[in-house]
A and B are shown apart, each in its own frame.
Chain A
Amino acid sequence: MNGWYGKILRVDLTNQTHTIETVDPQFAKDFIGGRGWAIKYLMDGMDPAADALSPENMLIFATGPLTGSPAPTGNRYMVVTKSPLTGVLTNSNSGGDFPTWMKRTGFDLFIFEGRAEKPVYLWVNDDQVEIRSAEHIWGKQVPETTDIMLAETHKKAKVACIGPAGERLVKAAAIMNDKDRAAARSGVGAVMGSKNLKGVVAMGTHKIGMADYDGMQTYGRAMSREVGEASKTSVLRIYGTPYVPDVTNEMGILPTRNFQTGRFEGVENINGPALNASFLLRPGACHRCPIVCNRITKVDTPGYEGEGEGPEYESIGALGSSCGVDNLAAITKANYLCNEYGMDTITVGMTISCAMEMYEEGIIPESDIGEPLKFGDADGMIKFLKKMALREGFGDKLAEGSYALAESYGHPEYSMSAKKLEFPGYDPRGAKGMGLLYATSNIGASHMMGDLAYAEVFGTPEKIDPLTIENKPALIKRWEDSFVIIDAAGLCVFMAVRYAFDKNPMIMPDRLTKLMNLTTGADYTPETLMQAAERVYNLERLFLLKAGITKADDTLPPRFLEEPLTEGPAAGHVAETEKMLPEFYALRGWDEHGVPTQEKLEELGLE
C-alpha cells in the first residue's frame, strides 16, 4: 500500500507480548487512517461501556497516510481511547517530532491492551519491539523521563510519555511527546498510567510509499513553499496563538472567571505583544512545519523561573483569564509545570477556576481547601495545580476534573464542561456555531473537533456572523466531518483549513483530496472523502451511544443556556443550542433521539 503501511503493532501489556497485523486496503480507504482506523479497532475490540481505567480499555496511537509525507504539516498523530474524565470517546491530537518518528517504524497504529503488572515502556526501532522495565523511571517528570529513555535507547529516537499526573490517574493527565507537545485532552495520560505504560520510544528507517512520487514531491513541496511564504509575515509565526486574547476579548467571548463574563480587564497583560516583550526567546516549529507557531520562552521573574514551550492561547485562557489571573509570568510558569507533570492546561485551568468560583460562592468551604482560593490568586493557581498533579489534599478532588468536583458539592452547574470535558476559549453565547459543536462533538467541549471559530471569529475562510444560528447546523456538520479528514490524514488544522479546503464557509477538501490521492492512490473524490469522514463520525457516535450517552448529554452547562452575557457585542445573548439540535440531527440522518437511523448506517456501510 502507499501512504499507509497497512501494518499495525498490537501490544498486549498483560502478557508482555506483541503481534503485527496487516490491514485490508478497502478498509484503509473507507476509514481514511489515524482517527478513522482507530475508532474501528476500538469498536471491534472493546466494550464501550467498560471502565476507562480498566485493562479492558484500549489505548491507540494513530498516524495517518499523510503523517511523514511531504504534505505541509504532515506530522500529527492522534491518541484514541475511552476517556476516564468524560466516560466517552476521546481523540487527542499532537504534533512535535514524535508522530513522524512513529511512522518511520513502519507501523500506522500502535494498539495497547491490558495492563502491565509493573511499570514498563515500549521501544520500537523498525520491526524490533521491546517491552522494557520502567520501574526506575516511575515517578519522574516528563523532561527527565524523556532524557532517561533516550539515553537507554537511541539519542535520535523520540519519546511520548506520561509524568507523575498520569501515574496517579489524574483525569487531566496528558501524554507528552518531545517533552513539550501534548496529546492533552480527556485524561489520555491517565489511561496510559492505568496500564503501567510510562512511555513509548520510536524511530525507524521506513519511508511511506507514494502512489505518485514525483507528483507528490512537486505538489506537496509547492504547497509547503506557499504556506511557508505566507507564514513568514503571519501572525502565527510572530505572535503565535497568543494573538487571540485581544480578538476574543473584543468579541466578548474570552473565558473570564469561569466564564462568568467574556471580557477581562487584564487582557493587555496576557496577550501576544506582552509575551513577545517579556518571555519569548524564539518561535518554534513541529517537524518540518512551515507555520512555526510554537512559543519557545524563558521566564526570569523571581518565583516563576523556568524555560520551555508555551503558553498558547488556550493555556492563557484557562490558566489566565478564567482564573482571573493577569500575571503572565505565573501563567507561563503554570504552563511549564503542566508540561512537566504531564497535564492538559485547559482542564487544569478550568477546574481550578471552577473551584475558585465555588469557593467565592461559599459552596466549597475553606476548611476543605485549607486556605482561601480566590480569582486572581496567581500563586494559589500554581500551588493547586501542583497539588492536583500529585493528588495532595484538596488536589485529590481537583484531579477528578471540574464536573466531578462540582458534582461532589451538589452543584454540577459550576463545571464549564460538555460531556464532562472542560471548555476551550470561545464562549458559546457569542459564537453560536461553536455552541452546537461543543454540545454535539464526540469527545465533549473541544474546539478541535470542528473549529467553526475560524469563520465565526477569525475570518477563515471568510467571516460569518457568530451571533446567528441560521445555517449553523449544516456548517457544524460539514466542519466536524472535515476535521475527521484532517485528523485521520495526519495534518494540522492550522494549515489544512486555510490551504487544503476551498474558500467558502461550507468547506470542501479540494486540495486535500489531491494530497491524499497522490500519496495513497486511493482515487478519492472530495465527496467520497467526505463520505468516509461521515462514516467515521457516525461510528464514533455509535461508540458514545453504547457508552451510555443520550440526547440529554448533547447540551451545555446552564450558564451558557440561561445566563446572557452582560457586556460586549454578545450582551444579552445565550447559546441557542437546543434550537439548532433538531436540524442538526436531521442533517446527520439521526432520529429525534440523536441515534443514527438504519438507513444512514446502511448508506455508510456500517451495518
Chain B
Amino acid sequence: MKVHLKLIATYREYLPPENKGKAEIEVPAGTTAVYIIANLGIPIEESVVLVDGRSPNPGETLQEGSVVFAFPATAGG
C-alpha cells in the first residue's frame, strides 16, 4: 500500500534535496510509522512522529494513504 512521508526542517536531509522532504512510498500492510522513520536512520527517541497529525498508539499500523510526519523534538515557537 502507499503512504505519504513528510519530513520537515532538518529532517528533510534524510531524503534527496529534490524531494523537499516529501515522498510517496510503498509499504507492506502491518508497517508502523516508527519503523519507516527508524529505517531512514532518524533517531526515534529525539523525534516527534505523527500519523495523520496525531501521535500513533504503540504498534498502530499504517493505512492506505496515511501521512507519516516527523520532525526533531525541540523547544517551541
Contact = CB atoms under 8 A, between A and B. Distances in A.
Interface of A: 233-236, 238-239, 241, 243-244, 246-248, 250-252, 271-273, 312-314, 425, 447, 451, 453-454, 457-460, 462-463, 465, 467, 493-495, 497-498, 568-570
B66 to A, nearest CB: 12
Contacts of B71: 235, 243, 246-247
Nearest to A233: B10
B53 A244 contact: no
Contacts of B73: 458-460, 462-463
B40 interface: no
Contacts of B3: none
A312 B9 contact: no
B6 A313 contact: no
Contact of B75 (A239, A458, A462): A458
Contacts of B48: 247, 458-459, 463
Contacts, number: 89
Contact of B8 (A243, A313, A568): A243
Given A233-B10, A272-B8, A494-B76, 11 more contacts: A235-B71, A238-B10, A244-B77, A271-B8, A273-B9, A273-B21, A451-B76, A453-B77, A460-B76, A463-B73, A569-B53
Given A251-B53, A252-B53, A460 B10 contact: no
Interface string B17-34: 000110000000000000
A250 B69 contact: yes
A492 B12 CA distance: 28
Contacts of A493: 75
A235 B67 CA distance: 22
A465 B50 CA distance: 11
A465 B58 CA distance: 13
B6 A239 contact: no
Contact of A239 (B10, B53, B55, B69): B10
Nearest to B22: A268
Given A235-B71, A243-B71, A273-B12, A250 B6 contact: yes
A117 to B, nearest CB: 42
Contacts of B61: none
A457 B9 contact: no
B52 interface: yes
Interface string B36-77: 000000000001101011110000000000010101111111
B72 A235 contact: yes
A442 to B, nearest CB: 20
A250 B50 contact: yes
B9 A453 contact: no
13 contacts: A233-B10, A234-B74, A236-B75, A238-B9, A239-B10, A458-B48, A459-B48, A459-B73, A460-B76, A465-B55, A494-B75, A568-B53, A569-B53
Contacts of B74: 234-236, 458-460, 498
Contacts of B12: 273
A453 B76 contact: yes
Nearest to B12: A273
Contacts of A498: 74-75
Contacts of B53: 250-252, 568-570
A519 B56 CA distance: 43
A569 B20 contact: no
Contacts of B75: 236, 454, 458, 460, 493-495, 497-498
Contacts of A457: 76
Contacts of A313: 77
Contacts of A235: 9-10, 71-72, 74
A146 B47 CA distance: 42
B33 to A, nearest CB: 13
A498 B72 CA distance: 13
Listed residue (B6, B10, B20, B50) with the most chain A CB atoms within 10 angstroms of its CB: B10
Contacts of A462: 73
Given A235-B72, A241-B77, A251 B20 contact: no
A425 B77 contact: yes
A323 to B, nearest CB: 18
B77 A314 contact: yes
A239 B9 contact: yes
Contacts of B50: 250-251, 569
Nearest first, the 6 A-B pairs at minimum CB distance are: A459-B73, A569-B53, A313-B77, A244-B77, A459-B48, A241-B77
A457 B71 CA distance: 11
B47 to A, nearest CB: 7
A244 B48 CA distance: 13
B9 A569 contact: no
A497 B76 CA distance: 10
Contacts of B6: 246, 250
A495 B10 CA distance: 19
Contacts of B47: 459
Contact of A272 (B9, B69, B76): B9
A453 B76 CA distance: 7
A460 B52 CA distance: 20
Listed residue (B6, B20, B74) with the most chain A CB atoms within 10 angstroms of its CB: B74
Contacts of B8: 243, 246-247, 271-272
Nearest to B51: A569
B53 to A, nearest CB: 3
Nearest to A317: B77
Contacts of A238: 9-10
A263 B44 CA distance: 26
B26 to A, nearest CB: 22
Nearest to A453: B76
A454 B76 CA distance: 5
Nearest to B8: A246
A497 B74 CA distance: 10
A462 B72 CA distance: 12
A241 B76 CA distance: 7
Listed residue (B6, B50, B54) with the most chain A CB atoms within 10 angstroms of its CB: B54
